[in-house]
Amino acid sequence: MQVEGKRVIVTAAADGIGRAIADGFLDGGAQVHVCDVNADALEKFANERPGLGVHLADVSDANAVDAMFDAAEADMGGLDILINNAGIAGPTGTLESMTGDDWRRTLDVNVVGMFHCLKRALPLMKAAGGGAVINLASSAGIMGYPLRTPYAASKWAVVGLTKSLAMEAGPDGVRVNAICPGPVTGERMERVIAAEAAAKNVPEDDIRASYTSLTSLRSFIDPEEIASSILFLCSDAGAKITGQVLSVDGNTESLR
């Protein structure tokens, strides 16, 4: 999975899945620039990985994305790969309990944020003769997810965006795929479990067990397993793969 010398941007990469993805590209010899909203985690990452480009940015803010891309382009001289990893869990509860602000914030980060990044990335990739985009969707982007309607709606949108953009950008040599993680180990999943337990008034351990019981492999996914799939798709080994939605989720059978 050769990625040496590739110029890569990974959004929301100070920790969690994004950090694992960025580490994978760095270990493969790529030039990597990351953004995040967590300044402390960004500083820690930069200190641990000399040569890494970092930028404090909320992808829902078009001006912040422009500033981040300007810095990355100046640093790397162009772009070959964009990993649209930024996303938020959104609220947990019944639809009628949610506010318009709950919905808008989830869609602004999870969908509009991808638009802002793609709008800047595509011209750079076309100028480079081609490139690869990976959009992070979710198992919730291919099945229903009760009590998480804004999140599910946003991830279904990501799947539609991916398939449509693959057709639009393919003639310019830009490949566009989506990864659908299932329940991934880490702090974010623990927050999701806590919120769902509170909404359903059940113990957190019951929610945690329900997630594993609903996957065929009866397990959570490690961030590094998501990163490995992404490196494959972005390498020469995945040169003819585009418009695909790849589930890396232990075969999630249901999200009920």
pLDDT one-digit tens code per residue, 166-198: 999 999 999 999 999 988 888 878 888 888 889
pLDDT given for residue 256 in this prediction: 73
Mark whether 151 is an active-site residue: yes
- Beta bridge mates, 103: none
Give the position of tokens 């382009």.
73
Domain ranges of the chain: 7-183+222-248
Alpha helices of the chain — where are they, by DSSP H? Answer: 16-27, 39-48, 62-76, 100-107, 113-127, 149-169, 187-200, 204-213, 223-234
**Percent of the chain with pLDDT strictly greater than 70:** 100
pLDDT given for residue 192 in this prediction: 83
pLDDT given for residue 189 in this prediction: 81
The token pair at 8 is 């890569």
CA distances, 119 to each of 69, 123, 205 (Å): 10, 8, 42
Q: Which of 151, 156, 211, 220 is catalytic?
A: 151
Question: Which tens digits make up the pLDDT trace of 49-69?
Answer: 999 999 999 999 999 999 999
| 3 DSSP 8-state letter | -
3-state secondary structure 26-52: HHCCCEEEEEECCHHHHHHHHHHCCCC
Could you tell me which of 82, 123, 89, 84 has the C-alpha nearest to residue 107? 89
Q: What is the mean pLDDT of the chain?
A: 95
Could you tell me which of 79, 167, 190 has the C-alpha nearest to residue 126? 79
Which is the CATH superfamily of the domain at 7-183+222-248? NAD(P)-binding Rossmann-like Domain (3.40.50.720)
**Residue 12 in this model has a pLDDT that exceeds 90:** yes
Q: Are 249 and 212 in contact (CB under 8 A)?
A: no
| 202 DSSP 8-state letter | S
